[in-house]
Structure 1
Amino acid sequence: MAAVGPRASKEEFMLALGLNSQDPQHEQIYRAMRDEAILVYNHLNGDTSHLLDSVASDPSTRPPFFWHHIRPERQRWGIIEISQNAGALTRPFFAHGATAGEYGPNWVAGWLLYSVFRSRDVRNNRNRRKGDEHGQGSKTKKEEEAPPKKYYDPVRNG
């Protein structure tokens, strides 16, 4: 299996693991791996001790944290934690991710953890929903005065 980097699409990630996102059984495996990464994500967002000193010392810093604000050794810990504590269903896939290469120590766990950080970041425009408090307050005066759009907007309507 060829490793994919953290910015690869879900489709590329699954293909690299020999999985097909259209297969319900494969999607179940993906969701189980993602659930394992979410546990570590929640831990890393539990307090500021996992953050770079410059970010942790800022009193306005609140979760959810950015991936790039997590200390590199804590990122590495999280990747190892996911791969070592994998369940029976997902363990073989994490085992294939072990590498000393560019995406080490485990490209599968690394991709998943980075993906969870990225997808759960409410500051990410693609995750904002119409009426979501996080999506408000960034409109220009012209946009505020404009009539509502009548077409489907996937960024705002999910």
Structure 2
Amino acid sequence: MAPVGPRASKEEFMLALGLSTHDPGHEQIYRAMRDEAIVVYNRLNEDNSNLLDSVAHDPSTRPPFFWHHIRPERQRWGITEIFQNSGQLTHQFFARGVTTGEYGPNWVAGWLLYSVFRSRDVRNNRNRRKGDDHSQTSKTVKKQEEPAPQKRYYDPVRNG
């Protein structure tokens, strides 16, 4: 099984692990692995000491941090931490990612951690294109401008 890089799609990632995005059991494994990466993501966002010196002392630098602002040794620590603390359900999949190659030390944990950083970054272009900027102000405005859609239920008596 060939490793995939951090920018590979979820489908490519899961395929490289022998998993399918269409199998609910495989999705459960993926979510468990992602949850383990989120724990480390949260730890990396707790402290400016995880940041490169060039941004660590800038008073405007606040969590959530950019992936590329995290010190490389802390990125590697995070990747190793995910693998070492993986649970019974996920450990075998993280074990498949151990490598000394380009995506080392563990391409599976690295892909997941990078993915969490990207998906939780409100500055991410994908999030902006979707109109989801995660700010409280725009959520409030959306609620005022767009009424909630009415749910329609099938009624076998009325719709016979």
Runs of 4+ in structure 1 over 4 Å off: none
Equivalent in the alignment of 1:103: 103
Q: Distance in 2 between matches of 1:89 and 1:36?
A: 11
CA positional deviation for 1:125 = 2.8
* Counterpart for residue 84 of structure 1: 84
Using the size of structure 1 for normalisation, the TM-score is 0.82
> Deviation at 1:131?
7.4
Aligned residues: 137
Gaps of 5+ in 1: 137-147, 149-158
Structure label with greater radius of gyration: 2
C-alpha distance in 1, partners of 2:10/2:113?
12
| CA spacing shift, 1:82–1:130, aligned 2, 3 Å | closer
Deviations 1:16-61 (A, max 9, x none): 0000000000000000000000000000001101000110010110
Letter in 2 for 1:82: I
- Tell me how far apart the structure 2 counterparts of residues 23 and 76 of structure 1 sit (CA, whole Å): 31
Q: Name 1:8's counterpart in structure 2.
A: 8
> Cα–Cα, structure 1 residues 131 and 90, in superposed 2: closer, same or farther, change >3 Å?
closer
Question: Against the structure 1 CA distance between its residues 80 and 60, is the aligned structure 2 distance closer, same or farther, given a 3 Å change threshold?
Answer: same
CA RMSD of aligned residues (A): 1.8
Q: How many percent of aligned residue pairs carry the same amino acid? A: 79
